[in-house]
A and B are shown apart, each in its own frame.
Chain A
Amino acid sequence: MSESLEMITTSSDEGTLPLPEPLCREIYDKMLTIRRFEEAVLDIYTQGLMRGLAHLYIGQEASAVGICSALNDDDYLTSTHRGHGHLIAKGGKVDRMMAEMMGKVDGYNRGKGGTMHIADMSLGILGANGIVGGGMGMATGAALSGKMRGSGQVAVCFFGDGAINQGAFLESANLASIWSLPVLFVCENNHYGEYTAASDVTAVREHVAERAAGFDMPAVVVDGNDAVAVHQTAVEMVQRARTGEGPCLIENKTYRYRGHHVGDGDPEKTYRTQEETDTWLAKDPIPRFARRMLKAGMMDEAELESIDTTITKRVEDAVAFANESPYPEAGEVTDHVYA
């Protein structure tokens, strides 16, 4: 095996926090914002204020934030049906996101897209996606475009363990590799696609990332609940991509604490065990990161609490903003079919 094909498995030393304090604060803020945002989505959905399907990102926050904290504002990302976390991590505004959840005119997409299609082109967010694997080609193309324009931009393609079995992955990874495109394929392996265990439907020895070898690209398997490890991996891979060394496959091992979508029953009663969920709950990325900040003396308990209060208020304001925003006028229905 050549060096580039080697698979690296990584996590960081819990006793340390080798990142600058402002960055740590930002990572913590973003992760907690995602958590509180998703809890609010659960709440409005349960109250009947939101329709469609709500796929919550709770438990996976370190993946989105660890990756996006290594990006520039003008870098691109493609997201998935479970996209709220990616959007917030890349700078998405919670009030406009919440308005979109409710189909309101002040939402990012003027209510036309909803939870599965939020995009903010000004932040390089090319969109969440209702099609599993739908972002793979697009991220590859955004990287191609960046390369052709000589802009130095990179693209991140977030997708799940289920999406790696789409043919689109093979085609996109191969293209990205032969053309040395600056794209990071980030597989968020939360171990299930809907109600099916990844291990039942995915032919790999142990890690999804093994597949990178077939495309002559490096692979890193990361403790996806360790924001530091994810961030450090991303920094290295983004640097590689920007300097023309091509794509990579990062596998963030993580877990979704909720069901596939809100209202689809209790996973622990059907396709997964309480014991398994409990092991992952013990690795909750947010308290884990908080402990490290406390230990490093970057924060104290009182400040952790006041940050939570601030974020909770911001999310409450977002819900109020969304509630007050009207539905789009009926006449808007025919707008935007064409550019």
Chain B
Amino acid sequence: MSTPERVITYGEAVREAIAEEMRRDETVFFMGEDVAAAGGVFKVTVGLLDEFGEDRVRDTPISEAGIMGAGVGAALTGMRPIVEIMFGDFITIAMDQIVNQAAKMCYMTGGQASCALTVRTTIGAGRSSAAQHSQSLQAWLSHIPGVKVAIPSTPADLKGLLKTAIRDDNPTVIYEDKMMYGLKGPVPDDDDYTIPFGVADIKREGSDVTLVATSSMVHTALKAAGMLEKEGVSAEVVDPRTLSPLDMDTIIRSVEKTSRAVVVDEAYQSYGVTGELASRIADEAFDYLDAPVKRVGAMDVPVPFSPGLEPETIPDEAKLVRTVQGLFHDVAV
């Protein structure tokens, strides 16, 4: 028997996940800048204040380090806070509390402490928001043992992963692409629907090349796959959905089938998610590969404001298609 589905947006998925978990567990609460009365700058948390009241849905001062610290402290002492950091770029201000405190408490205390903190923040360029409001810094926290990281690409994935994150006893971070809040998709109509961390999803099946893609780049990869199909190349699109833990098995199985892999992520290409994934594929799928593993990321430049420059820096389907073509014929990319 399959669960009935409803079509909702990526933004509505956020709201539903938080509301359902707050109904289910009274230790869950939500705080951030302008999240309550205004419902967030992206308007995705409208209505939560009305339903749950000021005690559990809190507007905070502009104090990222302070509110993250308060989240850590509350999580150590029995609550399940969800902290919103409006733009992922601002998480830099709160880094100590996540990286040095939350991430390490369980380990450093020999397992005494747990920190059921959920951080929601945004990534993604494409709105001429310039260099301090457009970055995709998901690699930073994926680098830290003790933090779990999800990077959903669809409403269903967002909802299921956010609910899992809230229930998890560890610090979790959800990276939401700010350009996708209006994206619609089917979601199982079930209050108890969750998606476990560490399970990748095959977004499109194919046999000639594996495109491993994260967040908005899943949609770019799907478009590229459509273009490649016309050229007779069948691309499989694998979405890891969580970067930590990472489901390598699904990725390796796909490469075993296709013998070629390209990794795409919207962050700066150097020292990032694409580097980690490509090296793991090269290592763990060496015997199956017919071509070197390629990667496509953003240019290693601060995201420029100008509409004349910004698109240059972000990976798109044309670049992805060229990269894939290069794996088959010696095309310069």
Contacts and interface: CB of A to CB of B under 8 A. Distances in A.
A196 B34 contact: yes
Given A103-B307, A112-B304, A112-B306, A193 B62 contact: yes
B128 A111 contact: no
Interface string B102-127: 00000000000000000000000001
B309 interface: yes
Interface in B295-312: 299-302, 304-309, 312
B62 A131 contact: no
Interface stretch (B72-80, B129-137, B176-184, B203-211): B129-137
A133 interface: yes
A133 B66 CA distance: 14
A167 B63 contact: yes
A53 interface: yes
Contact of A132 (B62, B130, B131): B62
Interface string A70-113: 00000000000000000000000000000000011000010111
Interface in B56-89: 59-66, 89
Interface size on A, as a range, is 35 or more
A110 B301 CA distance: 15
B313 interface: yes
Contact of B305 (A114, A133, A162): A114
DSSP majority for the A interface? loop
A330 B309 CA distance: 6
DSSP majority for the B interface? loop
B38 A271 contact: yes
A24 B305 CA distance: 36
B333 interface: no
Contact of A162 (B62, B90, B130, B133): B62
A334 interface: yes
A162 B64 CA distance: 12
Contact of A111 (B64, B90, B306): B306
A162 B38 contact: no
B66 A337 contact: no
Contacts of B299: 333-334
Given A52-B130, A114-B306, A333 B300 contact: no
B41 interface: yes
Interface of B: 33-34, 37-38, 41, 59-66, 89-90, 93, 127-133, 299-302, 304-309, 312-313
Interface of A: 51-53, 103-104, 109, 111-117, 129-134, 162-163, 165-167, 193-196, 200-202, 270-271, 326-328, 330, 332-334, 337
23 contacts: A51-B305, A52-B127, A53-B133, A103-B306, A103-B309, A109-B305, A112-B304, A113-B130, A113-B305, A115-B305, A130-B130, A130-B133, A131-B90, A165-B66, A167-B63, A167-B66, A194-B33, A195-B34, A196-B38, A327-B308, A328-B309, A333-B313, A334-B299
